Structure 1
Amino acid sequence: MLMRRAEAGDHPAGRLRSLVEETKSAYPKTNFKEWKQVLQELGKFLKADGAYKGSRSLRYDNLFDSFPSNLASLARFHSRRVLKLKEAVLTSYRRNEVKFTELTLDTFRMLQCLEWEPTGSYQIAAKELTENGTISDQSGPSGLIDIHLSSEISDGSLPSNPQKAVVYHPTVSHLLAVLATVCEELSQDSILLVYLSASGFSEQNITSQKYASSSAYTRATSVYPIDKSNSNISSDNHLWLGPRGSGGPNNLYPEDLIPFTRYPLFLVIDSENSHAFKGIHNAEKGEPAALLLSPRIASAMPGAESTGNGSQFTYFLTAPMQAFCQLAGITSEIDSDTYANAETILFSALEQYEGILSTSVGLNNVWGQILPDPFLRRLILRFIFCRAVIFYFHPEENGEHMPTCLPSLPESVSPKSEAIMSPILELAENLVVSERFHFRHSIRNNKK
């Protein structure tokens, strides 16, 4: 899975399933409940990860994610202070989220999104392994899981990947301790990416309120209510990092992160309570933070049920083509030519967005100093795409459905801009889903 070799991953998964069944038959009195859970998790994970066949790798690929036409525009930022992404802390804590062992689907996608795609030697080595059925000499283990890679995977022409700490279901104190440790090791030209995907409500509140989730884990069109049982404690001003119960120890507040703004931070908050973290803006202790905040309510076609594809906002930031298809309600398999055309349209759209953003006069320096970094620039461009797609998905502008960023990006990349809207219309027409958006309504409003 980490190597994006879906075909190679299906074989050991099927073999594991067969071995469990054979062992159950041989030892009928043995309890295989834990193994059943492992197989269920693996099946859901592989299904969600492979929802759209033929999709590109989530890693940064210079062939598809780098736009030579904009290099001159980006070069102007190098005369100022430039920050590089060298460290990232990734965590996800939600009820019933898609995961395999201690790797959740959301953190898996973000993990992949912050790595370089190896070039030709990797693909050749993978093909030889598949066809010959042999295993070459092994390199060292990578990150979370001991995955053996062929020696040809190394590519001296690529920079090193950012260091990533994936924290599985942490307590608040554990997460803050990890952040403190990572911040201590930041160099002066570095910025720390913090990715938090979590609910804003405890399991106790979820059970007692009996409301439907607004995330992609259940029905995507409902709203989280605000628990007003305690007038002194607002339930929409924090993230919930805990298995059950309620109370302060499991609540992560925006104020908890403010001490870390002594260092440059790039915050991605994916939660129905993400709006609470707007309070970090202008309250920093030294370095102004860049924030990408998810919508309070996820969007979906009317009556659409959860498809178990993880958080919609994270999906857009890591796999925008697949996220667009999911939002538009495309459930049947797309033919390869149509999908390839859609990828080309998206490629051109992001190239155009990058050109507009990099030449904008009113670009805040918080974005300007991180725009030269390829990973962060790609996240920003995909945020612009995500915001515009959701804007045209709704007939009327609804703040709770819209993602936000702080500081604000220039008006030239706002959803109402013709240059931002046109590629999305072309993409929707290519996939024959333009009637599911509201382009005409928005165009009329723009002309008024």
Structure 2
Amino acid sequence: MENMNPLDEHERKVIIEFCHLLEKSKQLFNGLRELPQYGHKQWHSYFGRTFDVYTKLWKFQQKHRCILDSKYGLKRWQIGEIASKIGQLYYHFYLRTSNTGYLNEAYSFYYAIRGRCYYTKASKEDKCELMVKKLRYYARFIVVCLLLKKLKLVRDLIKELDRQIIDYGITYDPDDQMEWALVVDEVKAFIQMEPVITVLHPDNYPVTLSHRLSPLTTPPVERNSNMSLVLHEILIIGSNSQQVKFSELTIDMYRMLQTLEREATGEIHQIYDDSPRQKFTSTPNAPNNKGYYLENGRNKPLNPHKYLLYKPSPSQLLVYLASGCLDLPLYGALLIYISSDGQIVQPPKNSEDGGYDAGGLITTSKNDIYRESNRDSKAPTTTKHKESHCLHPGDLFPFTRRPLFLIIDSDNSYVFQNLPQLFGQPLVVLMSPAEFPAPFRDRGERGSLFTLFLHSPLSAFCYFCQIHELHLVHWDRAQNYIDTFMAEASQLVTRSRLGNRYMPFMGDDFLRLLVLRFIFCEVIIRTHRAFEHHPCHTRAAPPLPEELLGHPALFHIVMDLASHLQVRHHFQDPNAPAAPPANRE
């Protein structure tokens, strides 16, 4: 506190109360870091208390700004620090709830910090730690803008962050300047690699596409009494060693994160008057067992809760899995999505242990595995022991006690096809091709084609057909063909002989969408000429029936789509006569 002038009693009370709220808010905010990152109940109540204190602090400094400026010496960067922490709280609550309204609120706070230049004089304070806070603010703002697809602003922020890092290095000569430069390089690579196709507006500028679920993109379904489950818990795991990443978010994770979210239907509150909502709430009411909450007397679907895990150890992964299962309500389902390098081993002859003998997925860093293997070079190698740093199919056996939907995107995905239904609970496994033909093999940093099909089927289709730019009118028309395919496939699935392993999941919008996009991916693979002599296809457990995947109606929709985009030559026609010899006139 700076005693700039003598204080009267009111001013003294204002400053004491401000200091009390500031200290309490810092204690609560730091306490959030010490809570386990899994589970709901403890975190939710603690978070609510933290947000309430920050709400009081923010309003208090607004109401008494004149006194705090003149008598306490409140600096603009201190206001920015409070606003930045409120933005962080909103962002982390978005991660916990998947409610994109909170993501928009985080953006609003970060945007206000930049617009009101709260951190402008941070570099003149001669405090290295203050500059680090400013750099972290930029990094967090960039993540939020990436998730909201505000790419023009991302590019502007990268330029600003670049300049700030240079100033940081000149002023303080810090040891971590190279690490910050690497952050900038990562986000530059991320925004360069992520776009698959450029969609042009009639005025010739790129259109930003949203791939979140909305009423317009939700495929219809003929509901029946067997469709009982609602997706409640999601684990998104990214461990692919080749993909570019930013802030522990690989491209595949980024795409799945957006695929498994609904667009926000309304704002949480207005931010532009600098005041957060008077009372913070996570949802209008607590969800019921079927995954809905009551708002204005109507049932509205609840976004599932997600965990994002970048290169977790198997032990960490299993802890989050156990927590997800524990938090499932009666009608809840758990989705596990894994994008990972595979650990491929040759199973021994006469193997009786299908859960561990065929290898698994390298969820942690490959380097960790190599270091562990080479720690004692004199140790004898043996086939009796399994790789402890890998996730094996057998590791998931205990979690089949609850309804489980599993997506494996890996070059060793097929080892999960025989996951047993030990406890009679619904269980579905969708697996990527183990490899792609040569023309599609070198995506590497750009992410998996299989995940791209699940994220944006039309983008994946265009990539398969070497379409890199499309006008909006053609994109919209092509998307109508995709929607027609999904509606037709939805009818075929619900009327087919799939039994009780798919039907319970088909009532959930997200899980139904994933199944239908998986079918679209397989139909494209079956008809695309690049796969004509290639053995690798998707696999599903239980297997999807041949009469579904080879249904003429689905094939004809794909051909209509190909004709619309003038790429019909990329596809085979099983009903067409054989082509004449090449030397025949």
Identity %: 30
TM-superposed deviation, 1:276: 0.4
The answer to whether the 8 Å contact 1:392/1:442 transfers is no
Q: Which amino acid aligns with 2:160?
A: R
2:512 is aligned, of 377, 381, 401, to 377
Match of 1:91 in 2: 237
User: Deviation string for 1:46-99 (max 9, x for gaps)?
Assistant: 2233343436312111122243xx4xxx22x2x236111011111011213221
For structure 1, the residue ranges without an aligned partner over 5 or more in a row are 143-153, 202-225
Match of 1:257 in 2: 396
1:33 is aligned, of 169, 172, 178, to 178
Counterpart-to-counterpart distance in 1, 2:542 and 2:397? 16
2:188 is aligned, of 21, 39, 43, to 43
Distance 1:373 1:227, change over 3 A: closer
TM-superposed deviation, 1:365: 1.4
TM-superposed deviation, 1:110: 1.2
Q: Which amino acid aligns with 1:294?
A: S
For structure 2, the residue ranges without an aligned partner over 5 or more in a row are 1-145, 199-206, 283-294, 374-385, 579-585
* Corresponding position: 1:189 with 2:331: yes
SS of the aligned residue for 1:266 comes to strand
User: Deviation string for 1:7-44 (max 9, x for gaps)?
Assistant: 34333233223333444566678663212211111112
* Corresponding position: 1:117 with 2:256: no
1:272 is aligned, of 408, 411, 429, to 411
Alignment of 1:24-173 (within 5 A): 24=169, 32-53=177-198, 54=207, 56-67=209-220, 70=221, 74-75=222-223, 77=224, 79-80=225-226, 82-119=228-265, 121=266, 137-138=275-276, 158-173=300-315
Counterpart-to-counterpart distance in 1, 2:531 and 2:155? 43
TM-superposed deviation, 1:376: 0.3
Distance 1:346 1:55, change over 3 A: farther
Q: Which amino acid aligns with 1:59?
A: R
User: Deviation string for 1:158-198 (max 9, x for gaps)?
Assistant: 42210111112111111111111211221221110011111
TM-superposed deviation, 1:114: 1.4
Alignment of 1:337-376 (within 5 A): 337-360=473-496, 362-376=497-511
Counterpart-to-counterpart distance in 1, 2:546 and 2:185? 46
Distance 1:94 1:188, change over 3 A: same
SS of the aligned residue for 1:279 comes to coil
Which TM-score applies when normalising by structure 2? Answer: 0.60
Structure with max Cα Rg: 2
TM-superposed deviation, 1:352: 1.8
* Corresponding position: 1:292 with 2:427: no
User: Deviation string for 1:337-368 (max 9, x for gaps)?
Assistant: 222221222122212221222233x1221111
Match of 1:210 in 2: none
* Corresponding position: 1:334 with 2:487: no
Distance 1:5 1:418, change over 3 A: same
Q: Which amino acid aligns with 1:285?
A: F
* Structure with more relative contact order (C-alpha pairs < 8 Å, separation 6 or more): 1
User: Deviation string for 1:73-132 (max 9, x for gaps)?
Assistant: x22x2x23611101111101121322111122211211211111124x56x99xx99xxx
Which TM-score applies when normalising by structure 1? Answer: 0.77
2:552 is aligned, of 412, 415, 418, to 418
TM-superposed deviation, 1:413: 2.3
Distance 1:391 1:55, change over 3 A: farther
The answer to whether the 8 Å contact 2:334/2:405 transfers is yes
Q: Which amino acid aligns with 1:63?
A: L
1:440 is aligned, of 562, 569, 573, to 573
RMSD: 3.3
Deviates more, 1:1-10 or 1:344-353: 1-10
Q: Which amino acid aligns with 1:301?
A: P
The answer to whether the 8 Å contact 2:219/2:483 transfers is no
Distance 1:371 1:31, change over 3 A: closer
Q: Which amino acid aligns with 1:12?
A: L
SS of the aligned residue for 1:103 comes to coil
Distance 1:261 1:7, change over 3 A: same
The answer to whether the 8 Å contact 1:294/1:402 transfers is yes
